[in-house]
Amino acid sequence: MAITLSGDQAMPGPPLSSRLTPAQVWGIVLLAPYLLVFLAFVVYPVCYGLWLARDPANYVALYNDPIFARAAINTLIFLVVGINIKMMIALFLSGFFAVQRTWIKWLSVIFILPWAVPSIPTILSVRFMLNPEWGMINHAIFSLTGDDGPNWLNDPTVALCMAIAVHIWKSLPFWTLILITGRLAISHDLFEAAEVDGASWWQKFRYITWPSMQTLYVTCTLLSMIWTLGDFNSVYLLTGGGPADLTHVLATLGIRYLRLDQLSLAMASIVCAMPFVLPLVYFMMKRLSR
Amino acid sequence: MKLPSLRDVATEARLLLIGIPVFLWTMIPIYHMFLFAISPKEDAFSGKLWPDHPTLHNFEIVFKQQHYFLRDFYIQFWNSTVIAVSVGVLTLFIATAAAFAISRLKVPGGRAVLNLALFTYFIPAAFLAVPMYRTMGNYGLLNNHWSLILAMVTIASPYAIWVLKQASDKLPVELDEAAVMDGATTLQIFRLVYLPLMMPSLVAIGTYAVLLAWNEYLYAFLLLSNDREITLPVALGNFLAADDSPWELLMTTGFIYALPPAAVYYAFRRYMVGGLTAGAVKS
């Protein structure tokens, strides 16, 4: 090979370009496209956004905007209540789908559908189902009880709950799938031994399943929280932030300010979310990159 | 044949007690969409569980573009397709190159780039939407398909790089060493050794990027606004602009729009489940 032939005449202190092996030069060339994308579409927008949000007056304006406070509370409810309910259901269903039955196998194929189809048409479908006059749900309530059903999306609390339900509908299959993977990784011998010892269903869960899955479960919950912070569709397409801007979350608030032509407020509202996002991200990165 | 014991029956009943609600919960919104697609307007608004006169008339209206909201259906479908495929190809190119450089060539600083990518992956994309919108304006790309393509590539590549890097780490180093012994250049190793071995992960990542772009709403509606430039999801959102939206047509178009990704997902499910869940959460 060429390198061994020229090895005996190596010069002391060659320039940087020749100190790199051809493989490393290729490495830099191959890494360049991503770096360019990163610089142009991550670094530049982030810096530009921070520059737009530099004026402290923006933060005073945000602080005085009741919609902002409401959106922050809604986001917190969405994360703390919504995600925990979702992950508990996912944990429960992962046990259900781990049962060996042909029909459960088929059901698991159907169960993935919400994750596989785009969210826009299904969210709009739910939106019409909840229509107080024409929707399927209030028709059903009327024919069963003879009473008019509630005006679902016109009450901020109910509307937010519905947005959370839509979010759960959409992302439950994904997390269930991941927890099934975790559950199937547990050695079957443990359960057989527990069976022999006459352990109850709860004891098996408490002493075998949960200890093996708790790390995965916590990781999933945190990851889901970070991603849900960016869940724009569930709220925007179902309620549009209404009624009276009372169901906004941080992800939709930026767009609201943008529409009102208050760009610096839009950026400032995102900057305000960073103290909550960054520690979560840092924690996740430590966890995932060893 | 032996009769099932009482205990077996009880277990089965309990499983059904979970299975049936899960089935209904999953299917109702999708069935509702399908129901609207095959119902004439009067039936759709009557709250019936099955229309009196099921019809394919709605599909006919969509495919013949016979409604104000559907004037540009084909061109919007085409926009969605072109953008999704471009994002898939570009993401694969960028991410495979980067993963090869980091994992196989051990390029200096590769670890730092990987961490940067991972960091971007965790920041919710919706938070970057407003600055991205302004940036595309500054670059003069608004209302141009490239703005959406580049934005989606930016969002898709971090995860792609990370999954592909994990997958390449599993390939034995001896393969590269043997190829070097045989006098293969770096590019030959990339093309003849690396790419074929990485195929399953590449399929998974390509599918991931295509579906991500096809399904994207927020960025599409911020970056594209001209009726002949927008993608299908934006067109669906625009239906809501009218007070008396033709919901049966909206659901029909939505149904058509939802079919390709569902088909792709199920076709590549084997790759998706293995390749993506392994990468998504490593306990």
pLDDT at A132: 79
CB contact under 8 A, A263 and B157: no
Q: Tell me the mean pLDDT in the region A166-192.
A: 89
Q: Judge whether residue A213 has pLDDT over 80.
A: yes
Distance from CA of A236 to the nearest CA of B (A): 9
Nearest CA distance, B201 vs chain A (angstrom): 18
CB of B28 less than 8 A from some CB of A: yes
Measured from the Cβ of residue B15, the count of other Cβ atoms closer than 10 Å reads 16
Residue A285 to chain B, least CA–CA distance (Å): 7
Mean pLDDT confidence for A191-205: 86
In this predicted structure, what is the pLDDT of residue A1? 35
Distances (CA, A) of B225 to B143, B145, B216, B222, B235: 6, 11, 14, 7, 10
Q: Are the beta carbons of B167 and B137 closer than 8 angstroms?
A: no
Residue B55, pLDDT score: 85
Note whether A204 and A225 are within 8 A (CB): no
The nearest alpha carbon in chain B to A141 belongs to: B47
CB-based contact, B280 to chain A, within 8 Å: yes
A20: which 2 tokens? 């790199």
Q: Confidence class of residue A4 from pLDDT cuts 50, 70 and 90?
A: very low
- Please tell me if residue B98 touches chain A, with a CB cutoff of 8 Å: yes
Shortest CA gap A141–chain B (Å)? 11
Of the candidates B117, B124, B129, the beta carbon closest to that of A227 is on B124
Listed range (A11-20, A33-42, B269-278) with the worst mean pLDDT: A11-20
Pull the structure tokens for residue B94: 């960028």
pLDDT score recorded for residue A11: 45
pLDDT given for residue B40 in this prediction: 85
Residue contacts between A and B (CB atoms, under 8 Å): 268
Distance (Å) from the C-alpha of residue B226 to the closest C-alpha of chain A?
17
Of all residues in chain B, the one with the smallest CA distance to A2 is B183
CA distances from B268 to A110, B158, B189 (A): 15, 21, 27
Q: Which residue has the tokens 């961490």?
A: B115
Q: Are B130 and A111 inside 8 Å of each other by CB?
A: no
Residues of B in contact with A236 (CB under 8 A): 218
B100 touches chain A (CB under 8 A): yes
Residue of chain A minimizing CA distance to B158: A34
Q: Are B127 and A267 in contact (CB under 8 A)?
A: no
Q: Report d(CA B148, CA A41) in Å as an integer.
A: 11
pLDDT of residue A163: 94
Amino acid at B200: P
- Which of A202, A168, A201 lies closest to A79 in space, CA to CA? A168
Interface test with B, best of A4, A30, A213, A238 (most B CBs within 10 A): A30
B84 min Cα distance to partner chain A (Å)? 13
- CA A154 to CA A140: how far, in whole Å? 19
The answer on pLDDT for A8 being more than 60 is no
**Cα-Cα-Cα-Cα dihedral sign, residues A57, A62, A64, A65:** positive
Q: How many helices (H) and strands (E) does chain B have?
A: 14, 0
What average pLDDT values come out for chain B (283 residues) when binned by 10 residues? Answer: 76 91 94 90 76 85 83 92 96 95 88 89 88 92 93 93 89 84 85 88 90 93 89 90 80 93 86 58 45
B122 to A226: CB separation less than 8 angstroms, yes or no: yes
Q: What pLDDT shows up at residue B283?
A: 39
CA distance A35 to A37: 5
Quick one: pLDDT at residue A7? 39
Instruction: Check A45 against B134: CB less than 8 A apart.
Output: yes
Beta-carbon separation of A41 and B27 below 8 A:
no
Confidence of residue A290 (pLDDT cuts 50, 70, 90): low
As a 3-state breakdown, chain A gives helix, strand, coil percent values, each rounded to 5, of: 80, 0, 20
Confidence (pLDDT) at A36: 94
What is the model's pLDDT at position A275? 85
Report ipTM for this prediction.
0.87
Within 8 A of A112 by CB-CB distance, chain B residues are 265, 269
Tell me what the pLDDT averaged over chain A comes to.
85
Best of B105, B149, B231 to substitute, by most chain A Cβ atoms within 10 angstroms, is B105
Greater confidence, B241 or A173? A173
Selected residues 132-191 of chain B with any CB under 8 Å from a CB in chain A:
132-135, 138-139, 150-151, 153-154, 157, 161, 183, 185-187, 190
List chain B residues with CB under 8 Å of A1: 183
B251 lies within 8 A of chain A by CB? yes
Nearest in space to A288 (alpha carbons), one of A210, A186, A220: A220
Query: Each residue of A132-149: pLDDT tens digit?
Result: 778 888 888 888 887 877
Say what the pLDDT of residue B61 is: 85
Give the residue carrying structure tokens 């293995």. B274
